[in-house]
Homo-oligomer: A and B are copies of this chain.
């Protein structure tokens, strides 16, 4: 959180109350949250009750690398890197929706270069591994 605030100051981004609240909410949740779950929290805090409020805050956080959208779940998680420039991969538990962020394998370069050779200009890469986390595996599939 501190890191995020610092990153926003450094980049002259406005971490408004709603945005800060959403980021804190994501940081405290240990699972991916849908926009509507976030919206519930916002409503509870009196910061807005309509979908666009949640989507706007989330869009801001994602655009500035403070949060990530997990495509597989249509849900969001706080970034664990405090917003520094980075490419990430995710381990997504299909049972509890817990998400671990890891470094994007260097080997992905190969894919990008190959694509470029074929005329395709890669801008972003989504890597999401779905499976079962430790706790869920022990608890039974």
Give me the interface of A with B, judged by CB distance under 8 Å.
71-72, 89, 91, 93-94, 100, 102, 105-108, 110-112, 114-115, 118-134, 137
Contact = CB atoms under 8 A, between A and B. Distances in A.
A111 B89 contact: yes
B126 A128 contact: yes
Q: How many copies does the complex hold?
A: 2
A121 B141 CA distance: 11
Nearest to A130: B124
Contact of A111 (B72, B125, B129, B134): B129
A134 to B, nearest CB: 3
20 contacts: A72-B126, A100-B118, A100-B120, A105-B105, A105-B110, A112-B129, A115-B131, A118-B134, A119-B137, A120-B129, A121-B131, A121-B137, A122-B129, A122-B130, A122-B131, A123-B130, A123-B131, A124-B129, A125-B128, A126-B126
B125 A127 contact: yes
Contacts of A120: 91, 93, 100, 129, 131-134
Contacts of A91: 115, 118, 120, 122
Nearest to A115: B91
Contacts of A71: 71-72, 126, 128
B115 A125 contact: no
B126 A132 contact: no
